[in-house]
Amino acid sequence: MSKRARWTQEQLDAYKASKGEGNAPDAVQSRSEPQNEAELQARCEAWLEALGYRRRTPKEIQSNHGRLHYIHIVQAKRNPIMLDLLLIDATGGPYGVECLEVELKVDGGRMTPEQRCLVIRDEGVVCWSFDEFKDAVLLWHKAKESRRRQ
């Protein structure tokens, strides 16, 4: 079974919206909030791709010279040292790389002790909805632009 065949309809719709005409970030919307973390992550990744981010993979590293990437750990439950998504903006060159680490949760989700520590120490943010995720990313972008102008 292919990876795509295991996607829910909502995940597939978010993916298709991200590849749609104009590839506008606003096109990656849905009628309701995701019911589980996998759906939320798929929608967030589709929105990031619509913004110009690329998922960092070995193939992507060799074929694309873009400066906006995100990393998604596939076996996240077995990885206590990183949150769900790591956004990387290397537009500032090797000494101007900035990162944002994001933990995605839906209602009823629980954070591990490691996740709580990372968020409490301001090493990452937790987003409980797609809208919170968009707000966090846009706020991070504004803060980066402000720092670069100084």
pLDDT of residue 76: 61
Sketch the domain layout of the chain as residue ranges. Answer: 4-149
Nearest 5°: CA angle at 85, between 88 and 92? 5
d(CA 7, CA 77): 19
The tens digit of pLDDT for each residue in 40-58 reads: 999 999 999 999 999 998 8
119: exposed, middle or buried (C-beta count within 10 Å: 0-12, 13-18, 19+)?
middle
Q: How large is the average pLDDT for residues 31-47?
A: 87
- Name the pTM for this structure: 0.75
Which one, of 89, 150, 80, lies nearest residue 116 by Cα? 80
122 or 86, which is more confident?
86
